[in-house]
């Protein structure tokens, strides 16, 4: 589809004037070209010589050509190729000046390309730019190999990060305070409004969903615990994690990817600085510190959302809402959110940095790294959340 689109657009924009026409004269010996033969005007393909020309000598009469460009050269060249294949000969007559030179040039480069393609391969001269076409089986195998390689680099990355954290604890890491502060600000001041808004609305939505069901039993009084438990145990951390994956994880990947493209990572290495100390560590620490805080505030915003809905639509008094909420939240429920947030924060930072470091050195691969950082971070956050749910179910808290 995507390859058709430009063609469709070109068709629409194309000029209305008709392209040139080619027709064989009555004897079938002379091909008369009439009108413009340009890429813009377009022209129908030359009709094949009528009947079997055998080894006859055919003529192309170009006296009527009004305009021409590479389209004409390509068409004539194609005809010449056909002539060579079928054994008839061609001669040009009244072609515009320059066309014959271009035709010769075309034949030469075509022959060269053919010779290079079919020539015997000497070892050491194989062109790495032109890999042989792969079968489906090969493609599947290679892709599996590549994916395995990519995923296996993650444990290596984790190991390096652990070493780096160890160096930090011993005070030996070259740590960049400025990056740390920048990330702190980026994930706190700047991320807070959107995190609060989304969480507020999430709380509101939960209250609505809960209310429609609970009202049937006259149990609206359970809306506040429903909202507060959902926000503190699940949604606060989850929503914050998803938002930060989108705005921070991808930013990490893009930033580090472009640093890699600019040789900055190599420069660090030759300077004797571990890129993990210098780049991963500040980001990891900033997110691990900030995520619980953001998640906690997000949970409160959600409770506010539930409060607004319950008080204005369900007729609960503010006092009831507050006492109900307070009763439902014990210490365990307060702690679960921040613990999850720490894990989510670490996941976002590690995946963002890993994707950035694994990015290739081109602009498009930086974009891909950012995208896959978001997708992977969100996936892993949800997987981790599911694991938390199972664990907490097992231990009954």
Interface positions with other proteins (CB under 8 A) = 124-125, 128, 174, 176, 178-179, 182, 259, 262-264, 266-267, 269-273
Burial 158-194 (b: 16+ CB within 10 A, else e): eebbeebbebbeeeebebeeebbeebbebbbeebbee
In the bound state with other proteins, the residue whose beta carbon lies nearer, of 49 and 352, is 352
Q: Least separation, in Å, of the C-beta of 123 and other proteins?
A: 10
8 Å CB contact between 349 and 284: yes
Residue 24 pairs in a beta bridge with 31
In the bound state with other proteins, the residue whose beta carbon lies nearer, of 270 and 312, is 270
**Beta strand segments in the chain, E:** 21-24, 30-37, 57-68, 89-93
Q: Least separation, in Å, of the C-beta of 374 and other proteins?
A: 22
Residue 67's nearest CA partner among 8, 12, 15 is 15
CA–CA dist 182, 279 (Å, integer): 12
Cα separations (Å) of 66 from 13, 61, 63, 336? Answer: 22, 13, 9, 80
List the structure tokens of 260: 């890699």
Q: Centre a 10 Å sphere on the Cβ of residue 57 and count the other Cβ atoms it contains.
A: 11
CA–CA dist 26, 31 (Å, integer): 10
Strand order through the sheet with 89-93:
21-24, 30-37, 57-68, 89-93
In the bound state with other proteins, the residue whose beta carbon lies nearer, of 54 and 124, is 124
Q: Least separation, in Å, of the C-beta of 62 and other proteins?
A: 39
H or E stretch covering 143: helix 136-169
Q: Least separation, in Å, of the C-beta of 181 and other proteins?
A: 10
In the bound state with other proteins, the residue whose beta carbon lies nearer, of 85 and 272, is 272
CA–CA dist 5, 10 (Å, integer): 9
Q: Least separation, in Å, of the C-beta of 165 and other proteins?
A: 19
In the bound state with other proteins, the residue whose beta carbon lies nearer, of 138 and 327, is 138
Q: Least separation, in Å, of the C-beta of 377 and other proteins?
A: 22
In the bound state with other proteins, the residue whose beta carbon lies nearer, of 52 and 125, is 125
Cα separations (Å) of 82 from 47, 77, 79, 129, 207? Answer: 12, 9, 5, 30, 76
Q: Least separation, in Å, of the C-beta of 127 and other proteins?
A: 10
In the bound state with other proteins, the residue whose beta carbon lies nearer, of 86 and 172, is 172
DSSP secondary structure string for all residues of 255-302: HHHHHHHTTHHHHHHHTT--HIIIIIHHHHHHHHHHHHHHHHHHHHHH
Q: Strand 89-93 and strand 57-68: pairing?
A: parallel
């Amino acid at each position: 589809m995507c390859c058709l689109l430009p063609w469709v657009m070109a068709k629409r924009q194309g000029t209305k004037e008709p392209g040139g026409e080619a027709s064989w004269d009555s004897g079938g010996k002379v091909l008369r070209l009439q009108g413009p033969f340009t890429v813009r005007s377009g022209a129908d393909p030359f009709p094949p010589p009528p009947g079997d020309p055998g080894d006859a000598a055919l003529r192309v009469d170009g006296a009527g050509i009004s305009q021409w460009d590479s389209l004409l050269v390509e068409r004539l060249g194609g005809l010449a190729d056909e002539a060579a294949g079928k054994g008839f000969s061609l001669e040009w007559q009244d072609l515009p000046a320059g066309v014959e030179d271009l035709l010769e040039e075309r034949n030469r480069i075509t022959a060269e390309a053919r010779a290079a393609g079919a020539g015997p391969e000497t070892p050491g001269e194989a062109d790495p730019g032109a890999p042989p076409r792969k079968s489906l089986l090969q493609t599947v195998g290679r892709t599996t190999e590549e994916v395995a390689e990519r995923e296996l680099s993650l444990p290596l990355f984790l190991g390096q990060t652990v070493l780096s954290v160890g160096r930090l604890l011993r005070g030996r890491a070259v740590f960049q305070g400025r990056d740390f502060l920048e990330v702190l600000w980026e994930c706190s001041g700047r991320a807070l409004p959107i995190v609060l808004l989304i969480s507020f609305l999430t709380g509101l939505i939960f209250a609505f969903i809960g209310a429609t069901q609970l009202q049937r039993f006259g149990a609206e009084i359970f809306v506040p615990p429903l909202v507060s438990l959902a926000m503190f145990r699940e949604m606060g951390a989850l929503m914050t994690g998803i938002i930060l994956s989108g705005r921070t994880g991808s930013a990490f990947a893009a930033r580090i990817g472009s640093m890699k493209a600019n040789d900055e990572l190599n420069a660090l290495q030759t300077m004797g600085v571990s890129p993990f100390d210098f780049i991963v560590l500040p980001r990891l620490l900033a997110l691990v510190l900030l995520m619980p805080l953001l998640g906690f505030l997000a949970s409160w915003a959600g409770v506010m959302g539930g409060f607004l809905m319950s008080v204005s639509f369900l007729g609960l008094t503010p006092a009831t809402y507050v006492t109900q909420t307070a009763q439902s939240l014990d210490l365990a429920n307060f702690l679960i959110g921040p613990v999850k947030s720490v894990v989510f924060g670490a996941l976002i930072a590690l995946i963002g940095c890993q994707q950035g470091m694994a990015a290739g050195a081109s602009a498009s691969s930086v974009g891909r790294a950012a995208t896959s950082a978001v997708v992977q971070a969100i996936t892993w956050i949800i997987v981790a959340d599911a694991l938390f749910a199972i664990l907490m179910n097992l231990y009954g808290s």
